[in-house]
Structure 1
Amino acid sequence: MPIVTLTINPALDVSTSTERVRPEHKMRCGPSRVDPGGGGINVSRVIRRLGGQSTAIYALGGPTGQAYRQLLEAEGIIGRVIPIGGSTRENVTIDETSTGDQFRFVLQGPELSDREWQAALDATEDASRLGGYVVLSGSLAPGVPDDFYARATRAAHRHGARAVVDASGEALEAALDEGVFLIKPSGRELGELVGATLTTIEDRVAAAEELVRRGRVETVALTLGGDGAVLVNREGTTRLRPPPIEVASTVGAGDSFLAGVVLRLAEGRDIAEAFRAGVAAGAAAAMTAATELCHRDDVERLESELAEASH
């Protein structure tokens, strides 16, 4: 089945390291790397790495947008660019080598006009005509309405496509009013969504089960960081812990998780297999440094370990 991803606020991810982050000092940095980032784009990149294919719709503008597009094309990503007047934002990740701490600086991004974000919606509906899965992931750019993902969900539903939403706040709340196929909140995001402090895993699972019971979403894939993930749907609740790994960076782990789930579903696998693939991909991404995403051999090895452990 086809997969479409939508990224309305992509970012050029710059990552490097320094011994210590200090105010009012020039901090000499180690080698740097630049990656094309943003929720939906990362999902498309991981799907490509795992041997799948998707259509990526993303807004780009300015010199950073040109650099971004070149990086994506070098990875073989098939996409449709929505040109915008502003310049694509940058994000910066700095690893502090003396402590192992990681600092992430997330820029706001350019303001989109009504015409620009509407063009992204139109492109998403056009790409949804073959059905399949439409992944709506990442923050909304300034100027984009809070119900943008709700509108994209409606567009997907018009053509029988399943909407997968990885967002937070008002954008997620509005999308759920349309009834979506799958969401991937963290514990904090789920608490914000239901307006409660969810201090235990049991609290979070109960909140996810209530969302499913009320018909707002078919499946909740609740991510728990190093503790793995919980899958909640009408068939029940399943928890998976990842195999032991050495964590290098958690940047992109959530996007890798989502890519693993959606790709396996699009391949016709059942939800249990897809969930294992998601946990494996998320763990594999955490094994890589800075903004690097998961590697296919790591994902497949961890998938096998999880499958053996479940039998």
Structure 2
Amino acid sequence: MATGPIVTLTINPALDKSANVDRIVPELKLRCDTPNFEAGGGGINVAKAIHRLGGNPTAVFTIGGPTGQRLHKLVKGEGVETVVIETKQWTRENFHVLETSTGFQYRFGVPGTEMMPTEVRTVLETLEEFDPKPSYIIASGSLPPGVPDDFYGQIAKIAHKQGARFIADTSGEALRHAAESGVYLLKPNITELSELVGVEKLEMNDVDDAARALIIRGQCEVVVVSMGAMGAMLVTEDQIEHIPAPPVQKKSTVGAGDSMVAGMVWTLSQGKSLREAVRMGVACGSAATMNAGSELFKMNDVKRLLDWLNRYGKRYSATL
């Protein structure tokens, strides 16, 4: 069982504002209901989800201006321990709208504000000097302007020195650099996995071989391929297993991937197996889709879906 703290990193957080409206119509002034504010960003969501599962993670993230201060207050209000790095530019703000007449959700995301080189160095130094040394470092989300593409690769090297298991949940060049530096676990979707192995498209029967290629290259020890409604595939050097997604009525996919990562990391930190960890991850991710907005999951849903996976999951597992 891991003994050091679980640390999450969010370099590009956002204050998420959401509201409901009856119908979205061009040109008209639309009357929304009272907006709801939540702290957003991959690592922050992971930390909130781990805390909901009973863990005590530390969320490291940047904040700037009044939006950053409000975001910080929201994270602390969840009971999550925080370490913040202040930036000159204000924290970005995203907007989500639910059209109640159709159930459609519209998500408006804006780019992160540019970070100064000194601010980037402060983030790296904060992780280098973390005491006690973390058992897990989870870096999740996109990189804002001003942050080099190899930033997560630099985090991977810090994690190696500290003896921490590093998990990178991102995409594009940031993901490629992280993998090249070596991580403990990668959670790509099939498109991201295709990019990592340098092929245009992967068929389902090629996914396990592609994932194992990353392991053979030394880019990671574990690959968990996220396959949406089909669940996930666990691949290690000597193990391949498909974990199906439980049947649920989906309302939103916001935070589902972060919930999945949280479920896996929390379970591993309890000394349980990778199979148990991925089942918990799929249960948390599926439970998160049952709620509107960015609410993450409810524990009673997680318990029910995990029970389904433990009882019936093997029956619905795909033949690969």
Task: Give TM-score scaled by structure 1 length.
Answer: 0.95
Equivalent in the alignment of 1:234? 237
Equivalent in the alignment of 1:72? 75
Alignment of 1:1-311 (within 5 A): 1=2, 2-127=5-130, 130-310=133-313
Aligned residues: percent identity? 46
Maintained 8 Å contact 1:128/1:156: no
Maintained 8 Å contact 1:4/1:127: no
Give the Å deviation of 1:81: 0.5
Which region of structure 1 is more displaced relative to structure 2, 241-250 or 93-102?
93-102
Q: Measure, in 2, the Cα distance between the counterparts of 1:195 and 1:105.
A: 31
Q: Measure, in 2, the Cα distance between the counterparts of 1:150 and 1:127.
A: 18
Which region of structure 1 is more displaced relative to structure 2, 212-221 or 122-131?
122-131
Give the Å deviation of 1:49: 0.5
Q: Tell me, which stretches of 5 or more residues in structure 1 are unaligned?
A: none
Count how many residue pairs are aligned between Structure 1 and Structure 2: 311
What letter corresponds to residue 154 of structure 2 in structure 1?
A: R
Q: Measure, in 2, the Cα distance between the counterparts of 1:102 and 1:162.
A: 35
Alpha-carbon distance change, 132 to 109 in structure 1, aligned in 2, over 3 angstroms: same
Q: Measure, in 2, the Cα distance between the counterparts of 1:130 and 1:109.
A: 29
What letter corresponds to residue 91 of structure 1 in structure 2?
A: N
Alpha-carbon distance change, 201 to 95 in structure 1, aligned in 2, over 3 angstroms: farther
Q: Does the residue aligned with 1:221 lie in a helix, a strand or coil? A: strand
Q: Measure, in 2, the Cα distance between the counterparts of 1:97 and 1:206.
A: 43
What letter corresponds to residue 28 of structure 2 in structure 1?
A: H
Q: Does the residue aligned with 2:205 lie in a helix, a strand or coil? A: helix
Maintained 8 Å contact 1:179/1:216: yes
Maintained 8 Å contact 1:128/1:161: no
Describe the superposition over 1:233-278 as per-residue Cα deviations: whole angstroms up to 9, x where unpaired.
1122111112211111110000000000001111111111101110
What letter corresponds to residue 309 of structure 2 in structure 1?
A: L
Q: Tell me, which stretches of 5 or more residues in structure 2 are unaligned?
A: 315-320
Maintained 8 Å contact 1:136/1:149: yes
Task: Give TM-score scaled by structure 2 length.
Answer: 0.93
Q: Measure, in 1, the Cα distance between the counterparts of 2:103 and 2:55.
A: 34
Alpha-carbon distance change, 248 to 114 in structure 1, aligned in 2, over 3 angstroms: same
Q: Measure, in 2, the Cα distance between the counterparts of 1:176 and 1:45.
A: 25
Q: Measure, in 1, the Cα distance between the counterparts of 2:226 and 2:21.
A: 30
Which region of structure 1 is more displaced relative to structure 2, 59-68 or 26-35?
26-35
Give the Å deviation of 1:151: 0.5
Give the Å deviation of 1:124: 1.5
Q: Does the residue aligned with 2:20 lie in a helix, a strand or coil? A: strand
Describe the superposition over 1:158-185 as per-residue Cα deviations: whole angstroms up to 9, x where unpaired.
0111110001111111111111100111
Q: Measure, in 2, the Cα distance between the counterparts of 1:283 and 1:115.
A: 39
Q: Measure, in 2, the Cα distance between the counterparts of 1:21 and 1:199.
A: 37
Q: Does the residue aligned with 1:242 lie in a helix, a strand or coil? A: coil
Equivalent in the alignment of 2:318? none
Give the Å deviation of 1:309: 2.0
Q: Measure, in 1, the Cα distance between the counterparts of 2:310 and 2:129.
A: 37
Which region of structure 1 is more displaced relative to structure 2, 273-282 or 290-299?
290-299
Describe the superposition over 1:177-205 as per-residue Cα deviations: whole angstroms up to 9, x where unpaired.
11110011122222233332325322333
What letter corresponds to residue 246 of structure 1 in structure 2?
A: Q
Q: Measure, in 2, the Cα distance between the counterparts of 1:212 and 1:157.
A: 17
Alpha-carbon distance change, 71 to 131 in structure 1, aligned in 2, over 3 angstroms: closer
Coordinate RMSD, CA, aligned: 1.6
Q: Measure, in 2, the Cα distance between the counterparts of 1:131 and 1:73.
A: 20
Maintained 8 Å contact 2:17/2:38: yes
Maintained 8 Å contact 2:21/2:31: yes
